Amino acid sequence: MIGYTECECMIYDASSLKEKRAVLQRIMTRTRHKFNVTIAEMDYQDTWQRTSIGIAVISSSRVQVEKELQRVLSFIDSFPEIERTITKTEWF
């Protein structure tokens, strides 16, 4: 079972692409180290306050994938500098 979640997020305090990328890199690196997931910026690379993050998890059961994705989303929500606005999940 593969679970894929795409989150559109806002980084309100970013005043440049450089600041946005620094925030995203920190969040993505910490997420990769804490969880066994694939995470990447998917869209809005040239927009300085908006981003889209893709997260993929693979496991033998859908329940395990759902739990892991929920833990990752809660972890991302714990960062005060980023706010999730739209979250879509797909199953393969």
Q: Which residues contact 17 (CB under 8 A, 6 or more apart)?
A: 46, 48
CATH code for the domain in which residue 57 is found: 3.30.70.1120
Q: What's residue 25's pLDDT?
A: 97
Dump pLDDT digits (tens) for 66-92. 999 999 999 999 999 999 999 999 999
Band of pLDDT at residue 18, cut at 50, 70 and 90: very high
Residue type at 31 in one-letter notation = T
In the numeric block, the tokens 């892991």 are attached to: 68
Domain range for 6 is: 2-91
2 C-beta neighbours (distance < 10 Å), count: 12
| Count of domains observed in the chain | 1
Dump pLDDT digits (tens) for 36-71. 999 999 999 999 899 999 999 999 999 999 999 999
Q: What's residue 40's pLDDT?
A: 98
Q: What's residue 80's pLDDT?
A: 96
